[in-house]
Amino acid sequence: MQKLKVLVAGSTGYIGLQLVKLLINHNNVEIKYLCGNTSIGKKIHTFDKFFKKKKLPKIIKFKKTLLKDIDIIFTALPNGGAQQISKYLLKRNVLIDLAADFRLNKAVNYLKWYKQKHKAVNNIKKSFYSLPEIHGDKVKNYNIISCPGCYPTSILLPLIPLIKKNLIDLNNIIIDSKSGYSGAGRSVHKKHKNKNLYESLSSYGIGFHRHNSEIEQEIKKITKKKFNLSFTPHLTPMFRGILSTIYVDLKKDINIKKVNMELKKIYSNKSFVKICKPNTFLSTNDVINTNFCYISVCKSKYKDKIVILSVIDNLIKGGAGQAVQNMNIKFNFPITRGLS
């Protein structure tokens, strides 16, 4: 059986740890190196007792010489880290980034939204933004793969098919998303030290959250029409999970049944997207510790408006699981391998 040699850079953050948990159960993967900056010399079980009895390498500092015997580099680093590594890639290497380094297709947009210059501008055109259920096999043509953010995953999966089929009005899309605090990374406790993360609900990034750029970019790829989209994220007093509530206006002669049927048709052969019965109330608990996205189309008190609920586990479908999905597609493995 084919075994890919893997390096994980940023292996001790919330999403890095989740990625390693998935990879050790993947039949086609051998974890060769775990890399970090502040955890060099430590064992990964220092950060999660789950790994106590697992045979994994000690954490080392990344060096470009490591790439000579590596097939895949997974990067779960602070923004800029994957850009730097991308400069050292050899022909045999595939880079799968779980951060934002290659999500935007223009360096000027990266500077605008992330407030730092892109360090590998020439590699932007060599990269591919891959939401697996939407972009499919196109990822096979690229060796730098960018995984979507957690919020955009929960939002784009229900929205893109409806926009493509011209079922909803684009003038007033309102998105309210609530995430577990793990989505903000380990530094969340420092960033929000004056807020009680365990007992309070906090809004942030109103109107200008970085994921706006990613959501808008992907919608522009499928429609030339102008659209008006408002996105507000919130941190909730739970560790993991995202619930996105999306309010949309229907086009004339379109009803909730038509919308639900179209979504079921689009995702009928997709392993990790489940379209629920209309008006099903969803909970993050439905998808925690899985790579699933559950979507429910709900009626509102107005005939021409609907409410779409979308739930994912931000660390898996919104991060590590999606990265493994992209690897599976790239190397022709069964899409569910390592994720079931």
- Asked whether residue 336 is assigned to any structural domain, the reply reads no
pLDDT tens digits, 50-76: 999 899 999 999 999 999 999 999 999
Is 335 inside any structural domain? no
- Summarize pLDDT for 241-258 with one digit per residue, the tens: 999 999 999 999 999 999
The answer to whether residues 47 and 179 belong to one domain is no
CATH code, 124: 3.40.50.720
Q: 298 with 192, same domain? A: yes
**Region 146-162: what's the mean pLDDT?**
97
Same domain membership, residue 199 and residue 54: no
In a domain, residue 337? The reply is: no
If you average pLDDT over residues 189-208, what whole number do you get?
A: 74
- Burial (CB < 10 A; 0-12, 13-18, 19+), residue 63, is exposed
Question: 298 and 177: one domain?
Answer: yes
pLDDT at 1: 67
Q: What percent of the chain has pLDDT over 70?
A: 96
Residue 33 lies in a domain: yes
Report the C-alpha gap between 102 and 173 in whole angstroms: 26
Token pair of 22, please? Answer: 């998935």
Residue 93 domain-assigned (yes or no): yes
Classify residue 340: in a domain, yes or no. Answer: no
Tell me: do 36 and 142 sit in the same domain: yes
Residue-level pLDDT at 195 = 64
Per the DSSP assignment, residues forming a β-bridge with 308 are: 246, 297
Most distant pair of Cα atoms in the chain: their distance: 63
Q: 171 with 301, same domain?
A: yes
Answer yes or no: 35 catalytic: no
Residues 177 and 233 grouped into a single domain = yes
Q: What is the CATH number of the domain that holds 217?
A: 3.30.360.10
Catalytically annotated residue among 35, 150, 276, 293: 150
What is the distance between the alpha carbons of residues 165 and 212, in angstroms, rounded to a whole number? 22
The answer on 306 and 157 residing in a single domain is yes
Specify whether 183 is located in the same domain as 309.
Answer: yes
Name the residue range of residue 300's domain: 151-314
For residues 231 and 73, what is the distance between their CA atoms, to the nearest angstrom? 32
Does residue 145 contact residue 103 with C-beta atoms inside 8 Å?
A: no
- Domain tally, the chain: 2
If asked whether residues 137 and 178 sit together in one domain, one would say no
User: In sequence order, what E strands does the chain have?
Assistant: 4-9, 29-35, 59-60, 72-75, 94-97, 127-129, 144-146, 168-180, 202-203, 229-236, 242-250, 273-275, 293-299, 305-312
Do 191 and 294 share a domain, yes or no?
A: yes
Rounded to whole angstroms, the Cα distance separating 162 from 155 reads 12
For residues 173 and 288, membership in a common domain is answered with: yes
* 3 state SS of 272: coil
Helical residues (DSSP H) of 90-200, grouped into ranges: 107-114, 132-135, 150-164, 188-191
* 32-56 core/surface letters (b: 16 or more CB in 10 A; e: else): bbbbbeebeeeebeebbeebeeeeb
Least-confidence region, from 8-12, 75-79, 98-102, 186-190 = 186-190
| pLDDT computed for residue 198 by the predictor | 74
